[in-house]
Amino acid sequence: MSLKDQITDDMKAAMRAKDTERLGTIRLLTAAMKQKEVDERVELDDAAVVAIVDKLIKQRKDSVAAFNQAGRTDLAGKEASEIKVLEAYLPQRLSAEEIAAEVKAIVAELGASGPGDMGKVMGAVKTRLAGKAEMGQVSAAVKAALAS
């Protein structure tokens, strides 16, 4: 079953269970997926769906930080619960050690050295680790690998 089908099934299950919070979050996700399909006139595969989920989670994390800074814990809690629902659709994340090992392997493959090669390394890392790791962690690992 594709990730898109699983999301549709989860939306139906949330409707039956009358789980309004989960249903609302899944509807936001399906709306973002449909918008991408209409805008680009493509059928989304699992990798594209994971990219959309990643983008939505990043938006929610930024919102949580802004709401906490403004003292709006009620809205921050709502965004945090949406993050939990969205994270269920992401593949298993790599640990920091696994990310560092992958980055070192890619740096060695490309023969990169020094901070000037960061763009070249990040391009290769993004394609290989898309959806498997948070890009903030990956960027820090690339900087560390190129600095040594």
CATH code 1.10.10.410 region(s) in the chain: 96-147
> What pLDDT shows up at residue 32?
96
Q: Which CATH class is domain 96-147?
A: mainly alpha
The domain defined by 3-87 carries CATH number 1.10.1200.10:
no
Is the pTM of the predicted complex or chain greater than 0.85?
no
Q: Buried (b) or exposed (e) across 107-139, using 16+ Cβ within 10 A?
A: beeeebeeeeebeebbebbeeebbbbbbeebbb
Which two structure tokens, joined as six digits, stand for 75?
Answer: 């809205």
* pLDDT grade for 74, boundaries at 50, 70 and 90: very high
* pLDDT grade for 57, boundaries at 50, 70 and 90: very high
Count of helix runs (H) and strand runs (E) in the chain = 7, 0
CATH code 1.10.1510.10 region(s) in the chain: 3-87
